[in-house]
Structures are given as C-alpha cells and as structure tokens.
Amino acid sequence: MPQPFLPGSEPSPQPGSDNAALQVSGLVKKFGDKTAVNNLDLLLPRGELLALLGPNGAGKTTTVEICEGFTKPDAGTVRVLGLDPINDNDALRARIGVMLQGGGAYPGAKAAEMLRLCASYSANPLDPEWLLTVLGLNDVASTSFRRLSGGQQQRLSLACALVGRPELVFLDEPTAGLDAHARIMVWELISRLRADGVSILLTTHLLDEAEELADQIVIIDSGRVVAAGTPAELVRHDAEGQLRFTVGGTGAADITTSALQEVLPAGCHATISPTGEHLVVGDITPETIEQIARLCTARGALIESLNVASNSLQDVFLNLTGREVRA
C-alpha cells in the first residue's frame, strides 16, 4: 500500500528552523577571476517547489552545491531549514535529500543495496522495497549501479534522495534521460512530495517541467537573478501578445504590412512570413482583432485561420538569457 512521504502529522519544529526552507542572501562565489555567483538572493518557503533555471554556466550548480554544504561561499549568508549548511552540516544532513545529476552511487553497489544503505542513515526511512516498486526498479534490484541504464540510474538517485523522508530535497535535473512514461511518473512523485509538505529546490533545463511543477521560478544568468515569480507572472510580465492569421480570396494580396499598420493601435507591429502568414505582435485586444477583420472585409480578403497567443516560458527564458548556444 502506498505510504505518505512524510509522517501523517506535520513534523515538529527543529532547533534553528524558521518559516523558510531555504534563504540565501547576498551569495557570492568566485573561482579565480571568474565570479560564478554574484550577490544572489533566493527564498524558498516551506512546502513549496522553487525551480532554478539558467543557461549553462549561469551559476545554478554552484549555488545548489553551496546550499547542500558541498562548497563554501566567499560572501553572503545561506540558511537551510534554519541551519548553516557548512557549520551545521551534520545536523542538516539527516533532514535533507540530495539527488545529484551524476548519480552519486557506488558503481559496484546493487540498486537495492544502495537504497538500503541510504535508508540506514535515517531514523524513520521509507520502505526501500516499496520505493523500488514505485520507481519501477524491482526488476533491476540486483543489478549494479554501473550496469543500469541512464534512466534507471536517475530513478535510483531519486529514490536515494527520498528514502530518508527529507524535509527539503534538492533535485538536479531529475528527469534527464528519462522516457515520457518515466518522466510523468517522476512528476507525479514530485507532486506527491509537495502535497506532503516537502520543500523542493529543482534545477532543470526542461522549461515545461518547471512550468508544470513550480510554485516559483527563479531565472539566473551570469550568477545574478534576472527574473523571479510564478510561471504565470513571468509569462504575463514579459510577454507581448501574438496574433497569427492567414488570408485568402481575391483581396489577399492587399493585406500588406503597411495596410495592417494603418489600422493597428500604437505599439502593435505587423510582419508577413515567407509562407504568407501574418503576425501581429503587441497588445492584442478584441478591438485589434475587429480592426483586422474590418480591413480584410473592405479589401475582399477572407480570414482562413486566426490564432491568438502570448509568449511561452521558453520565450521569456530566451529573451532574458539570449538565444545563442552556451558552451
């Protein structure tokens, strides 16, 4: 029978805890002349999921490693469940779960052995056999970590992060290399964790994953926060509306960009793609659509298709961080 990921009641407050699962203020980390993290602030309320996004080299991994206690910051303060991840590491280790993208397991250890070992570090672990079943690893329980597929290694790493019933879990690219079915299963598992009151810091390159799961999204670039908010807030704040339509009929050739621009409100811009699709970008209102329809009627053109949309989270991300490929 499925088990809750946390005991039925809320965990009793621990010494040094506060209302934030994670609070980072003025964080700085340098490697030689390179500043990886530059005066970064983060706040993860308890029981919420914060997705940390950014292009390669943005400072995500360094930030997370500092929060996990693996790397010492040069400046700033970090509190994880109210504790200092460096000075209070022993006390903190029993209360957090860490899923490393690289696996983090002993290469020769069998899957079930590795999970039981992680469970032995906790006073009240989940049943390892149940967790193997939930994550579809029963058939490879006796297979060594090095012989697991990439997706199986990912799922075992997730199991190891969760088996100790953490209050806060760090998930680094949890669905990288997973097929569609396994990815959905992990999403459901993460949703159950959050419903049970577990706080989650998620790093991912999959923007639809962040949009689906996150309460808050923080986008960083060059070690700084460039945007933060709920998925809806980020899209709404950054996005201009987009109206795409195609026309036919005898007057189609008369629906030019200049003709459109004459009837569009200030701030709207019209273009025509090489395939003949019209694109209007700006504040798309019912009146805007009405004006375009009136123009087409007057010129004898028939609107054959029309679609109104706003920018996606991907558009927001690329607008903020640039569209070039990062090394």
Q: What DSSP assignment string belongs to 86-145?
A: TTTHHHHHTTEEEE-TT--S-TTSBHHHHHHHHHHT-SS---HHHHHHHTT-GGGTTSBG
**For residue range 73-108, what is the model confidence (pLDDT) as tens digits?**
999 999 999 999 999 999 999 899 999 766 667 889
pLDDT band at residue 321 using 50, 70 and 90 as cut-offs? confident
pLDDT band at residue 283 using 50, 70 and 90 as cut-offs? confident
- Considering the four listed CATH numbers 3.40.50.1820, 1.50.40.10, 3.40.50.300, 3.30.420.10, the one that applies to the domain covering 20-95+166-235 is 3.40.50.300
pLDDT band at residue 241 using 50, 70 and 90 as cut-offs? confident
pLDDT band at residue 44 using 50, 70 and 90 as cut-offs? very high
With a cut of 70, say whether residue 282 has pLDDT above it: yes
pTM over 0.85: no
- The residue behind tokens 């991300």 is 317
With a cut of 80, say whether residue 221 has pLDDT above it: yes
Residue 325's pLDDT is what? 53
With a cut of 90, say whether residue 237 has pLDDT above it: no
* 8: Cβ contacts below 8 Å, ≥ 6 apart: none
Residue 95's pLDDT is what? 94
Other Cβ atoms within 10 Å of 284 Cβ, number: 20
Strands in the chain per DSSP E: 20-31, 34-45, 49-53, 75-80, 96-99, 168-172, 199-203, 216-221, 224-229, 241-248, 269-272, 278-282, 302-310
With a cut of 50, say whether residue 9 has pLDDT above it: no
Residue 76 phi/psi, 5° resolution?
A: 95, 175
- Considering the four listed CATH numbers 3.40.50.300, 3.30.70.100, 3.40.50.2300, 1.10.3720.10, the one that applies to the domain covering 240-310 is 3.30.70.100
Residue 320's pLDDT is what? 84
Nearest to 46 by CA among 216, 184, 161: 216
Residue 7's pLDDT is what? 36
**For residue range 132-183, what is the model confidence (pLDDT) as tens digits?**
999 999 999 999 999 999 889 999 999 999 999 999 999 988 998 888 888 9
Domains of the chain by residue range: 20-95+166-235, 240-310
**CB of 243 within 8 A of CB of 307?**
yes
